[in-house]
Amino acid sequence: MRATALLERHRALGARLVEFAGWEMPVQYAGILEEHRAVRQRAGVFDLSHMGELHVEGGESGAALAYALVTDPPALAIGRAHYSMICASDGGVIDDLIVYRLAPDHFMVVANAGNAPVVADELRARMAGFDATLDDASMRTSLVAIQGPLATSVLAPLTDVDLPSLRYYAIAEGHVAGHAALVARTGYTGEDGFECFVAWDEGTDVFDALLAAGTSQGVVPVGLGARDTLRLEAGMPLYGNELTRDTTPFDAGLGRIVKFGKPGDFVGRAALQAAQERRRTKALVGLVVRGRGIARHGYAVFERGANGAHAGMVGMVTSGTQSPTLGEAIAMAYVPPADADAGTMLEVAIREARVPVEVVALPFYRRPA
């Protein structure tokens, strides 16, 4: 397994370590529930150094990425970012990404840990013939995030970046805890927060500085367990669950990011146009369990038969948990479009029982304005 530069710090903090996407990562420290609530109420600090950072540079870097991805990176202003996907020629999702524009001819693509090598190889292949180069900086970059209502007040004394003026999905160069850094106002929790990209061996200093600055205010280290419950409450998809090679952006309700109007062709255009035009066979929905139990990944979803009779299987749960914020069991699932309207009652097979669930609009949680 690979390890981030912060592995010994996680051990010193008593983290429970697990294998995740080929990395040894902390799943929790004090506990998932406590860490989740800290992020919602105060702030939490995350080691995300397992993510992939791919730098694309050159006179045709924007055009190369426009061909490789479904979005239109050349339309980004310098210092801005957007959510994107790289799709196969058949329209299936290879990975979902964040694309940052750092300079006119310099972009940074952040890929999921397990997919970063595949994304790097795909981008290199698709960039052939363009005046652009790809530098995989994943093993030279530590990524430390602070997320939650106190994120700005904790980070501000440690950085020369003007955080109040940094917009959501924006990035700026500066320093954090005395180290050169890229600071982005992005995250995967549904809360305000920042992601700090620094040199590999400087990640521990940044992590320690954020914890030291926030400990008196209840800021805690947070593992992958709470990161998952936070993103699920926020209705954010996870690759391998809601997004796979067998799903298109349109299946996941994210067709808006596919930019058919951008100049030139892009990989997967024909298949994605067909997916947009054809009648959908599945839709991603939110579910709230109205009985006992938790609807977990892989559990079958059924229609409700008349007068309590069992009906046929119609879908599958992609993610599920007991929501610490809402106090009820929530899930995301793919179901037929006919069953996707809010208020529709379905059933999920939990252990030996079929438990009623209600379709609700996503996300389950929005942070207070």
DSSP-assigned letters across all residues of 230-297: HHHHTT---BTTTB-TT--TTTTT-GGG--TTSSS--TTHHHHHHHHHSPPS-EEEEEEE-SSS---T
Q: What is the CATH number that goes with domain 1-278?
A: 3.30.1360.120
b or e along 216-255 (b: 16 or more beta carbons within 10 Å of the residue's beta carbon)? eeebbbbbbbbbbbbbbbbbbbbbbbbbeeebbbbbbbbb
| SS3 of residue 185 by DSSP | coil
pLDDT (0 to 100) of residue 309: 65
Separation CA 199–CA 180 (nearest Å): 8
Nearest-CA neighbor of 248 among 81, 87, 134? 87
Q: Would you give per-residue pLDDT tens digits along the chain (369 residues)?
A: 999 999 999 999 999 999 999 999 999 999 999 999 999 999 999 999 999 999 999 999 999 999 999 999 999 999 999 999 999 999 999 999 999 999 999 999 999 999 999 999 999 999 999 999 999 999 999 999 999 999 999 999 999 999 999 999 999 999 999 999 999 999 999 999 999 999 999 999 999 999 999 999 999 999 999 999 999 999 999 999 999 999 999 999 999 999 999 999 999 999 999 999 999 999 999 999 999 999 999 999 999 877 666 789 999 999 999 999 999 999 999 999 999 999 999 999 999 899 999 999 999 999 998
CATH superfamily of the domain spanning 279-360? Aminomethyltransferase beta-barrel domains (2.40.30.110)
Model pTM? 0.96
Tokens of 170: 């924006």
pLDDT (0 to 100) of residue 305: 74
Is-same-fold flag (1-278; 279-360)? no
The structural domains of the chain, with segments of one domain joined by +, span 1-278, 279-360
Which DSSP letter does residue 80 get? B
pLDDT (0 to 100) of residue 320: 98
| SS3 of residue 358 by DSSP | strand
Q: Is the dihedral of CA 37, 43, 48, 52 positive or negative?
A: positive
